[in-house]
Amino acid sequence: MIDKKRMEEAQQNFKNYLEDGLLKKEHPNLAKEKYLTNANLSLKVAHELINSPSKPYL
């Protein structure tokens, strides 16, 4: 496990990188968009399986 001093150093480095523009928060909704895309795909697959002629064998 990371010791407290190293964790604080990493947090400070991250903050500095953001302030200096070395890291950017360009896609704040990326996780949400990915979740919705995967959810829609799951619903499409479920719909196809329900309507499949092979349904009794699934």
pLDDT per residue as tens digits for the range 29-57: 888 899 999 999 999 999 999 998 887 77
pLDDT for position 31? 82
pTM above 0.75, yes or no: no
pLDDT for position 10? 93
What is the rounded CA–CA span in Å between residue 3 and residue 10? Answer: 11
As for how many domains the chain has, the answer is: 1
What is the rounded CA–CA span in Å between residue 9 and residue 15? Answer: 10
What is the rounded CA–CA span in Å between residue 23 and residue 18? Answer: 5
Quote the domain boundaries for residue 44: 4-57
Q: Quote the percentage of the chain above a pLDDT of 90.
A: 50
pLDDT for position 16? 93
